[in-house]
């Protein structure tokens, strides 16, 4: 009969072994993650899919926007404007209404997103150098699309007219474009989207990963063994959070990398600053997810809590709507959300080149949020089965 006990009791290392035990949990979590194909796929697929969807749907220049052109005069110049519009990819002239009422109706029904009106006596006014106005009405419910199409329009028109021999060559535009953005006068600029996505994707995936970690152990029955071992709640927590910091880091690099290569988003600031503050943000979200995990009774509840937390992060952080446009109470709520601070950080570093000193308020805020979450998690963690 073989003996189960080692013939010689194995030597135990001296000391409390804080890092050693944390390391043990970390290794275990990593192996489990590696084996969980769905989670592993999620790490790569969520950033990719989200970025492609958001990026290509919103971020690139819109093409073939259905457009109505109302010609109030039948001049050569008006016709060459129409031809120029037809020759661009931006607009697709689908309607040639005859009255302004018709134009309004087309816009309201969504048949066209743009309406361009060449006023009467346009050609004569241009030749006289009177700078007549071309009226443009845009359906700005999708502000990004409207914004970029508008900026394209002025170029299209100028090019069209400069080819016309009868128009005096002049460095200034011989006419004026008077735009009227309907339905949503506030616009969000393109470059905000990719940095914003870094924050939202990290929030979502990080929350979910740790939110499930403690409840999973309880549901699978492994918690009883774990609690019977000489390990403290802090060691368990750090060991469970640490692997996902690396995961989050990979995700952030992936998103920023794609943003730079595919969408041409610049990174003006220091990459080191961006990496350091991103790590802080990742750790903050992981701590919050872990806190949910210690409060929730099962994995479903943990998931629901994460979603409930995720929603205000999306709505009140300045990702979807400009932060300064929100009512005061909503701004207070927003200040308590990690994404709010991270959006400021990531946008400032990537687009404006801000330094850590510029961003100290948001960095400290993230740090405080992380400490609060960790403290709650450690005190909430039940060391017994009572």
Interatomic CA distance for residues 149 and 113, integer angstroms? 10
The angle formed by the CA atoms of residues 101, 106 and 107, to the nearest 5 degrees, is 100
- Burial letters for 217-245: b for 16+ Cβ neighbours within 10 Å, e otherwise? bbeeeebeeebeeebebebbbbbbbbbbb
The least distance separating other proteins from the CB of residue 212, rounded to whole angstroms, comes to: 13
CB atoms within 10 A of CB 17: 15
Q: Is 120 near other proteins (CB under 8 A)?
A: no
Q: Does 43 bind other proteins (CB under 8 A)?
A: no
Residue 166: how many CB atoms within 10 A of its CB?
Answer: 11
234 binds other proteins (CB under 8 A): no
Are 88 and 43 spatial neighbours (Cβ–Cβ below 8 Å)? no
Determine if 5 is a binding residue for other proteins (CB under 8 A): yes
Closer residue to other proteins, CB minimum distance, 324 or 384: 384
Kindly state the smallest distance separating residue 290's Cβ from other proteins, in Å.
19
User: Does residue 38 belong to the site contacting other proteins (CB under 8 A)?
Assistant: no
Contact with other proteins (CB under 8 A): which of 201, 231, 305, 366? 231
**Contact with other proteins (CB under 8 A): which of 43, 173, 227, 295?**
227
Q: Which of 109, 225, 324, 328 binds other proteins (CB under 8 A)?
A: 225
108 scored as a contact of other proteins (CB under 8 A)? no
* Contact (Cβ atoms closer than 8 angstroms) between residue 155 and residue 91: no
For 313, how many CA atoms within 13 A lie in the half-sphere containing its CB? 23
Q: Select the residue interacting with other proteins from 110, 162, 224, 300 (CB under 8 A).
A: 224
- All residues at 6 or more sequence positions from 133 whose CB lies less than 8 Å from its CB, including other chains: 119, 175, 176, 177, 178
| Min dist. Cβ of residue 206 to other proteins (A) | 21
CA angle, residues 367, 230, 287, in degrees to nearest 5: 20
Q: Give the tokens for residue 356.
A: 């850590």
* Minimum CB distance to other proteins, residue 35 (Å): 5
DSSP, residue by residue, 16-41: --HHHHHHHHHHHHHHHHHH-HHHHH
**Part of the chain binding other proteins (CB under 8 A), chosen from 55-63, 225-233, 326-334, 373-381:** 225-233
Give least dist CB 224 to other proteins, A: 5
Any contact of residue 165 with other proteins (CB under 8 A)?
no
Kindly tell me which of 98 and 383 has the beta carbon lying closer to other proteins: 383
Question: Would you give the DSSP letter of residue 279?
Answer: H
386 contacts other proteins (rule: CB under 8 A): yes
32 sits near other proteins (criterion: CB under 8 A):
yes
According to the binding rule CB under 8 A, does residue 2 interact with other proteins? Answer: yes
How many positions of this chain bind other proteins (CB under 8 A)?
A: 37
Q: Interface with other proteins by CB under 8 A: which residues?
A: 1-6, 9-13, 15, 17, 20-21, 23-24, 27-28, 31-32, 35-36, 220-225, 227-231, 384-386
């Amino acid at each position: 009969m073989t003996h189960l006990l080692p013939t010689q009791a194995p030597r135990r290392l001296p000391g409390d072994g804080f890092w050693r035990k944390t390391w043990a949990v970390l290794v275990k979590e990593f192996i489990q993650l590696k084996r969980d194909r769905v989670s592993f796929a999620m790490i790569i697929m969520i950033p990719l899919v989200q970025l492609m969807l958001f990026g290509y749907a919103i971020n690139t220049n819109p093409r073939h926007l259905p457009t109505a052109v109302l010609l109030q005069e039948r001049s050569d110049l008006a016709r060459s404007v129409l031809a120029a519009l037809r020759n661009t990819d931006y607009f697709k002239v689908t309607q040639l209404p005859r009255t302004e009422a018709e134009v309004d109706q087309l816009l309201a029904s969504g048949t066209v997103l743009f309406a361009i009106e060449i006023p009467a006596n346009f050609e004569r006014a241009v030749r006289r150098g009177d700078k007549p106005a071309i009226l443009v009405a845009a359906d700005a419910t999708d502000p990004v699309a409207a914004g970029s199409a508008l900026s394209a329009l002025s170029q299209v028109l100028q090019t069209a007219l400069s080819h016309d021999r009868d128009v005096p060559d002049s460095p200034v535009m011989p006419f004026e474009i008077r735009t009227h953005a309907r339905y949503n006068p506030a616009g969000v600029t393109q470059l905000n989207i990719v940095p914003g996505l870094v924050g939202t994707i990290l929030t979502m995936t990080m929350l979910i990963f740790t939110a499930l970690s403690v409840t999973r152990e309880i549901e699978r029955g492994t918690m009883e063994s774990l609690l019977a071992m000489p390990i403290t709640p802090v060691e368990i927590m750090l060991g469970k959070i640490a692997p996902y910091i690396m995961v989050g880091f990979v995700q952030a690099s992936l998103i920023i990398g794609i943003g730079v290569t595919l969408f041409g988003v610049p990174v003006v600031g220091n990459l080191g600053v961006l990496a350091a503050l991103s790590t802080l943000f990742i750790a903050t979200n992981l701590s919050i997810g872990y806190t949910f995990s210690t409060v929730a009774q099962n994995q479903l509840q943990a998931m629901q809590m994460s979603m409930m937390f995720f929603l205000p992060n999306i709505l009140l952080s300045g990702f979807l709507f400009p932060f300064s446009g929100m009512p005061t109470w909503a701004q207070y709520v927003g200040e308590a959300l990690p994404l709010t601070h991270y959006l400021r950080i990531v946008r400032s570093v990537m687009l404006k080149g801000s330094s850590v000193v510029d961003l100290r308020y948001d960095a400290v805020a993230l740090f405080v949020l992380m400490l609060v979450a960790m403290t709650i998690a450690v005190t909430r963690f039940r060391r017994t089965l009572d």
